[in-house]
Structure 1
Amino acid sequence: MTALLDPANDLPSPEQERIAILERENWKLRRINKALMDRVERSMDYHGNAFSLFQTAIVLESRVRERTQQLEETLRKLEASNSELATAKELAETAQTRLAEAIESVNEGFALFDDDDRLVMCNRTYLSLWPAIAEMIRPGISFGEIARLAAARGSVLSDSSGPDRWVRDRVAQHAGADGTHVHALADGRWIQINERRTRDGGIVGIYTDITDVKERDARDGQERIRLITDAMPALIAYVDADETYRFVNRRYGEIFRRPRHEIVGSTMRELLGEPAYLLRRPHIATVMAGFETQFDLEFDTRSGKRYSQATYVPHFAPDGGVLGFFSLIQDVTERRSVAEALREANEGLERRVAERTAALQQEIAERQQIEAKLREAKTAAEQANLSKTKFLAAASHDLLQPLNAARLFVSALTETEQEAGARVLVEKTDAALLSVEDLLEALLDISKLDAGVVQPQLDDFPLAMLLSSMQAEYAPVAKERGLDLRVLPSRAIVHTDMRLLRRILQNFVSNALRYTRTGRVLVGCRRLTDAVRIEVLDTGPGIPPDKLEAVFEEFRRLEGDRPAGRDRGMGLGLAIVQRAGRMLDTPIGLRSHLGRGSAFTVTVPLGSKQRPPQISSVRMSPPASPLTGARILVIDNEQAILDGMGALLRGWGCQVQVAPSAPAAMGVLPALGGWPDVIIADYHLEDGELGVDAIAQVIQARGRDIPAIVITANRTTSVHERVQNDGYALLTKPVKPAQLRALVTQLIG
């Protein structure tokens, strides 16, 4: 037995330290005794008498006796301590011997390391695990040195990462000392290492040989593998690097009609024969190079031709080399038959698909021809719609020209003294012309909305501005009809086209006032999550449920208790509302109860910011001063317009000169008696000349600005922007005399 002593035993024990202390005290007493003797001797009076010598001798003897007694007491204590030390040493040696014997009696390997990870003691079983380095393992050697020596001498099996990696992993496991680890030794043994830390920071390790357990598990695993592979219909074998069979399953032996123990140990060349072996040789070379390979085999049997699929899978060693390969051969005859049937079915399906594809292609070609014709028809329809829009615009313009002249003449007549019968005729004529004007404006609006000529101009603006204009515009109408019109204020900011929203609300309010005989009309807003719903509610007769959609159709007016005459409307207002709502993507709603009234709604999105309202260049303020003597220059290419406008303005007391063009206007200025106070010009003149250019020529000739009004039947955005950019006021045909008078008065004032 080899027992390694603890280097810590070389340190003095408590008994040894006690003896050392007593020896130091004895030495000190001797020194003190000698010093006293020397002092006494020096203090003797050599010339004294015998009595003094005698007296000195007595004192000296007394002191020597005391010191001698102290020395003897110290020696007795020292002797007792030496006895106790010998006993303790004997007990320690006995305990150490018993510990060493106990460690040696353990079947497992035992090793104890101190807190510096250096070996304190171990048993022979531990040394037997490392025969190549056993002589180098001595107390004081570090665990890291033992691990490096074991790896360097090939005592352990490392993986493909190499011995240095094994040393690092093993040292980390040892430092952790928190579990069990299993390692394979180079001589085929397997050891299980269980390491734990001691109270003083050291590590104690128990090394157990589990080779028998591993071999038993391996045998059990091989048996399980054998049972599993024998139950499989495929041929399974393991071939080593020398092309020798090391394992085959039961099916392998049945196919080759030989016992398995005869196949195991034979080479592939011997078992398969030369032709079959040469057929497999290229695939054997591939798998031994470390690559999986797969190939097909054919066999002629009594029942016919059979097909198999062989797969070779390499078996790698820890160092990356190839130890052999696994062979798997499966009968794929049925699978191949099914695949062949599927192939034939696919070919038939492909033929049918091709036939169907050809039919579909023909159908697609026919559809493409139909679509081409539809596109042509659509193009023709769009062209027709555009032509219709252009026609309506042109017709409206051409109709508005004489209508405008007629309105001017009628307005001029109303300014003159007339008999009662003639005044009634004039008023009826004015009402008829106003109906024609409303009809033309509605037709023009619908044609523009249908053709997409009107493009929404979305912007953020306060809803209060629009509501206040509704109140101001329709309050007189409501008062005239004895109705209570209430417009509730709102602080909401909306994001939409103000002009189109105004058109929608105008139709809602005018319809409500037109069809409500008694009661009131209420305009209010409801705040939604991200929108505002504007509602126009009336106390009219209501609409039947089956007619709620019909009211939005063109020229649809419900029969029954409805206003007569011009007040009945033309049935175009709600059609315009529906088209405007669709263009703005704002939902239009309608609720109605017979006998209780109706509610028309439009929902508009909320805006993100408040912008100041755009101030129009046309300020509809009340007349600020009389027009008597005002010099007015009128430029229009229509003689009827010139005559009507002249008659109307002269009826207001103005001095008027008319001209069909800019050069003619310059020629009539002397007859006007000075530069005009206001210029009124039609936007479109003869030969492509524009009224804004004619106004500019007169202003340029004068050298300073002259207020001007441009009148046009063209309601496009570009025309309105051009007039406003030039700084002129704008009126649309047919011109309302009251509006014209207010504007002229404002410009002169």
Structure 2
Amino acid sequence: MSLVNPSDSLERQNEKLIKIAGALMRRVEYGSEQSSAAYAQFERAALLERRVRERTRDLERTLDLLHESNAQLGRANAEAETARSNLADAIETVSEGFALFDPQDVMVMCNSRFCRDFRDTANDLRPGLPFASYVDEVSRSRFLALPDGQTPEAWAAQRIRRHRDRRVMFNVQLAHDRWLQVSEHRTGNGGTVVVQTDVTDLVRLERQERARLRDKQTRMIRATLDHLNQGVCIFDEHARLLGWNDKLGTLFGLPARRLQLGVSFFGLLDRLDEDVVFTRGIDRDGFTRWARAEGPRGPVSFEIRRGGGAVLQVFGRGMPDRGFVISVTDVTTEREAAEKLAQLNEILEQRVMERTLELEDALSAAERANASKSRFVAAASHDLLQPLSAAKLYIASLNDRCAGGDDGVILSKAESALTSAEQIIDALLDISKLDGDGLSLDIRRVALRDIFAPLRDEMEVLAARKGLDLRFVPSDLMVESDPAYLRRILQNLLANAVRYTETGRVLVGVRRNGGSARIEVWDTGPGIAEEDQNAIFEEFRRLDATRGTSEGLGLGLAIVERACARLGHPLGLWSEPGRGSCFMVNVPIAGRAEPNRPTLARQSARPAGLAQSGLIALLVENEPQMRRAMSVLMESWGVSVIEAEDAPGALTLLDDLQITPDALVLDYQLGPGPSGLTLYRMIEDRLGALPCVIVSADRSSALRQGCKDLGLALLAKPLDRHKLAAFLERAAVLMA
């Protein structure tokens, strides 16, 4: 209901509204309570009318939307129906059988070719059929050719198990020799698409190709068998002959009529029984048992002799189909050659035995000569070292007393000559020991810096005389070696480097080489030609023949090579003429050394502190010249010396004098009586422990160990006066 007529003009509607508004204003201002109530009802009516009008508009819009949605739904249904029709038409055009199952394994749709070959089940296949029912229908179809021994229920159970896989593909045999390939594919929502393809033509083509290949292989096998220089025969699982070559009949002398397809192996063996003798391997019964074996056959090999002496080697092996193949080889020539070789071998063995006995006799003689030589060199060296040591001590005493001048120069040259002779004797002793079988090595952990330090002190003077720059690269590595022999190796290498280097420098360093330390001695000398690098390790071989014997007799590198071989330290050499040389020794690494500790300064040639010490030393030496030289030297230092020739004389002298000496200087070899070690123990029992040094030309490890056990110092002959002075000074300190 509207207060104005909508068909009126706007001017007329405005006039009406103005009048209504005026009347309402008057009613508000002058009306009674009844009129106020009526006006309130009027307001409510107007409000209700407005809300009804709004709801009517909303309803009209909703109806419009509903009509539009219905129109869209109709179009969508039409499109879906069209798509379904198109899908059905497309599926129908597919040459394979097609079916779609939803995620609950219920058939959604299929084409007319699906299960067309199972004509007795085609009417039951329609949308809504469960997958299990579809499998059950197919398993009971008379057009399904089940494998031998398989029931429809077992086939259906196997088909359901395959259906659980993500991707399935297999062939199904139908009646009348037809084949169907079935494949399953999963859809995105978990459904299943089943496709059936007729593969009968492919299977038949494959059979034809397989048969053709078998024929071709048969021809190839026949050609191969005829080409072989061996006789070959093949038997099936029933030991019947399947194939053979002509060589087999030739080797056994069998006519063609006896070698026929299907002939029994055992019949053939019986026919050969009179002409064949089993000579090596198994016998006839063992061969028969092998052929009759029901299980897998292992390989078998044996030899037989046929007729007038032909030797045949037979080799048999089982095949996967339980058949077996046998090959026969004529080895008559090889066996005759082997017999002749055996006869020759016996003759040769007899001759080798005779030569071996002769060589053993020669070797025994050489070993005896070598042992005799070693004993002679050791004894001769000991006898030579005694007077040399005495001469050096006399010269040292004179040199200390001379103030210099020409006499001092002459004495120095004499001492140098004696030192050269001493070095030659030491080298001969070392070679004799290294060549002998009784060498005992003291392999232990040793710090390289303890080897380098004395070598540096010793070689610096020689290098300085020639104006060479001698450098040692510090190393804190510990190695496994014999300290004495390792020092001798490096000493000889350094001496050679300094001797043959005229200008430049000599460098000693260490490189890590895996688990070993490679000690390298570099020089800037003349170098060594490649053809001479092996010759330099020979005894008395020097490349520079113009040098005098005072510069060595060529024994240093021979000692180095022998010592490295006995220690197991690989020795290497790099050299280039005009540039220099590098000798390398590889020694096993045993860790790192402790930090350096301060050491006492080197003692001077003439110890000044002994003159005021009042030291009394007991000297026991059986060689008169050596004993006198040592006495003169020690007395020149201010030491009071009491002398004895042997152990009984020393003990008698101590009893007569009734004094306790401050130091003992004892020779190890004192003639037929007790040795120096035994004498020390006797003196120790009487007077207690005293400072003692053992002097000897014996360089055996047994003597070193004996001195070590007693806590005694050991000085080697020729005697080093500096070491002797150092011992006496230590004794003087203990006395004070």
TM tier relative to shorter chain: 0.5 to 0.7
Counterpart CA distance in 1 for 2:579 and 2:97 is 106
- Residue of structure 1 in register with 2:642 after alignment: 657
For the residue of structure 1 that corresponds to 2:685, the secondary structure is helix
1:473 to 438, 458, 464: 458
2:239 to 293, 297, 305: 293
Q: Which AA in structure 2 matches 1:310? A: L
| 1:483 is the counterpart of 2:434 | no
Q: Which AA in structure 2 matches 1:694? A: L
Cα pair distance change 1:707/1:180, threshold 3 Å: closer
Question: For each residue in 1:690-731, what CA deviation from the matched residue of structure 2 results, as whole angstroms up to 9, or x when unmatched?
Answer: 32232123223224x311101111112232132123211110
For the residue of structure 2 that corresponds to 1:730, the secondary structure is strand
Cα pair distance change 1:726/1:406, threshold 3 Å: same
| 1:142 is the counterpart of 2:142 | no
Counterpart CA distance in 1 for 2:574 and 2:662 is 50
Cα pair distance change 1:114/1:614, threshold 3 Å: closer
- Residue of structure 1 in register with 2:583 after alignment: 601
| 1:678 is the counterpart of 2:663 | yes
Return the offset for 1:678.
0.6
2:371 to 386, 406, 421: 386
| 1:739 is the counterpart of 2:685 | no
Counterpart CA distance in 1 for 2:484 and 2:243 is 86
- Residue of structure 1 in register with 2:539 after alignment: 554
Q: Is this contact kept in 1: 2:476–2:593, CA < 8 A?
A: no
Q: Is this contact kept in 2: 1:487–1:524, CA < 8 A?
A: yes
Cα pair distance change 1:397/1:187, threshold 3 Å: same
More off after superposition, 692-701 vs 410-419: 410-419
Cα pair distance change 1:138/1:509, threshold 3 Å: closer
For the residue of structure 2 that corresponds to 1:535, the secondary structure is strand
- Residue of structure 1 in register with 2:520 after alignment: 534
- Residue of structure 2 in register with 1:14 after alignment: none
| 1:56-135 correspondence to structure 2 within 5 Å | 113-118=101-106
Cα pair distance change 1:148/1:397, threshold 3 Å: farther
Counterpart CA distance in 2 for 1:200 and 1:511 is 91
More off after superposition, 347-356 vs 523-532: 523-532
- Residue of structure 2 in register with 1:610 after alignment: 592
Cα pair distance change 1:403/1:132, threshold 3 Å: same
Return the offset for 1:742.
3.0
Counterpart CA distance in 2 for 1:463 and 1:556 is 30
Return the offset for 1:296.
7.7
Question: For each residue in 1:591-614, what CA deviation from the matched residue of structure 2 results, as whole angstroms up to 9, or x when unmatched?
Answer: 475xx7854533435735212499
Question: For each residue in 1:97-135, what CA deviation from the matched residue of structure 2 results, as whole angstroms up to 9, or x when unmatched?
Answer: x99x99999999886655432457889997986688899
Q: Is this contact kept in 1: 2:311–2:331, CA < 8 A?
A: no
- Residue of structure 1 in register with 2:427 after alignment: 442
Q: Is this contact kept in 2: 1:464–1:490, CA < 8 A?
A: yes
Q: Which AA in structure 2 matches 1:724? A: K
- Residue of structure 1 in register with 2:552 after alignment: 569
Q: Which AA in structure 1 matches 2:200? A: K
Q: Which AA in structure 1 matches 2:523? A: L
For the residue of structure 1 that corresponds to 2:699, the secondary structure is coil
| 1:666 is the counterpart of 2:648 | no
Counterpart CA distance in 1 for 2:664 and 2:564 is 38
Counterpart CA distance in 1 for 2:210 and 2:427 is 95
Q: Is this contact kept in 2: 1:624–1:745, CA < 8 A?
A: no
Return the offset for 1:736.
3.0
1:636 to 611, 616, 621: 621
Unaligned runs of 5+ in 2: 1-69, 223-233, 265-305, 314-326
Counterpart CA distance in 1 for 2:554 and 2:695 is 28
- Residue of structure 1 in register with 2:707 after alignment: 723
Q: Which AA in structure 1 matches 2:160? A: V
Return the offset for 1:676.
1.3
Q: Which AA in structure 1 matches 2:651? A: M
Q: Is this contact kept in 2: 1:113–1:120, CA < 8 A?
A: yes
Question: For each residue in 1:269-295, what CA deviation from the matched residue of structure 2 results, as whole angstroms up to 9, or x when unmatched?
Answer: xxxxxxxxxxxxxx9xx98xxx45333
Return the offset for 1:582.
4.0
Q: Which AA in structure 2 matches 1:571? A: G
Per the normalisation by structure 1, the TM-score is: 0.60
Cα pair distance change 1:373/1:352, threshold 3 Å: same
For the residue of structure 1 that corresponds to 2:617, the secondary structure is strand
Return the offset for 1:351.
0.9
Identity across the alignment (%): 29
For the residue of structure 2 that corresponds to 1:609, the secondary structure is strand
Counterpart CA distance in 2 for 1:590 and 1:215 is 79
Q: Which AA in structure 2 matches 1:567? A: S
| 1:366 is the counterpart of 2:351 | yes
| 1:171 is the counterpart of 2:127 | no
Counterpart CA distance in 2 for 1:572 and 1:147 is 100
Q: Is this contact kept in 1: 2:620–2:665, CA < 8 A?
A: yes
- Residue of structure 2 in register with 1:709 after alignment: 693
For the residue of structure 2 that corresponds to 1:293, the secondary structure is coil
Q: Is this contact kept in 2: 1:621–1:743, CA < 8 A?
A: no
2:609 to 600, 603, 625: 625
Cα pair distance change 1:120/1:652, threshold 3 Å: closer
Q: Which AA in structure 1 matches 2:553? A: M
Per the normalisation by structure 2, the TM-score is: 0.61
Counterpart CA distance in 2 for 1:173 and 1:142 is 16
Question: For each residue in 1:547-570, what CA deviation from the matched residue of structure 2 results, as whole angstroms up to 9, or x when unmatched?
Answer: 66555433345667535xx73433
Question: For each residue in 1:120-169, what CA deviation from the matched residue of structure 2 results, as whole angstroms up to 9, or x when unmatched?
Answer: 78899979866888999898663324534654787744446844663244
Q: Which AA in structure 2 matches 1:574? A: L
Cα pair distance change 1:488/1:138, threshold 3 Å: closer
Counterpart CA distance in 2 for 1:412 and 1:659 is 21
Cα pair distance change 1:202/1:420, threshold 3 Å: closer
Unaligned runs of 5+ in 1: 1-83, 237-282, 314-335
Counterpart CA distance in 1 for 2:599 and 2:726 is 14
Q: Is this contact kept in 2: 1:636–1:661, CA < 8 A?
A: yes
What's the C-alpha RMSD, in Å, of the aligned pairs? 5.6
Counterpart CA distance in 1 for 2:194 and 2:165 is 12
Q: Is this contact kept in 1: 2:381–2:429, CA < 8 A?
A: yes
For the residue of structure 1 that corresponds to 2:261, the secondary structure is strand
2:261 to 282, 301, 310: 310
Question: For each residue in 1:190-233, what CA deviation from the matched residue of structure 2 results, as whole angstroms up to 9, or x when unmatched?
Answer: 5555667789866575767x5xx738964995699489859977
Question: For each residue in 1:318-356, what CA deviation from the matched residue of structure 2 results, as whole angstroms up to 9, or x when unmatched?
Answer: xxxxxxxxxxxxxxxxxx9x9989979521332123212
Q: Is this contact kept in 2: 1:118–1:142, CA < 8 A?
A: yes
Structure ID, larger Rg? 1
Counterpart CA distance in 1 for 2:716 and 2:574 is 32
Q: Is this contact kept in 2: 1:618–1:729, CA < 8 A?
A: no
Return the offset for 1:489.
3.2
Return the offset for 1:654.
2.5
Counterpart CA distance in 2 for 1:400 and 1:446 is 16
Cα pair distance change 1:738/1:165, threshold 3 Å: same
Counterpart CA distance in 2 for 1:119 and 1:493 is 85
- Residue of structure 2 in register with 1:503 after alignment: 488
For the residue of structure 1 that corresponds to 2:591, the secondary structure is coil
Counterpart CA distance in 1 for 2:720 and 2:163 is 107
Q: Is this contact kept in 2: 1:294–1:309, CA < 8 A?
A: no
Counterpart CA distance in 2 for 1:542 and 1:222 is 82
Q: Is this contact kept in 2: 1:514–1:567, CA < 8 A?
A: no
Counterpart CA distance in 2 for 1:198 and 1:423 is 114
Give the number of aligned pairs: 570
Q: Which AA in structure 2 matches 1:739? A: K
Counterpart CA distance in 2 for 1:734 and 1:632 is 20
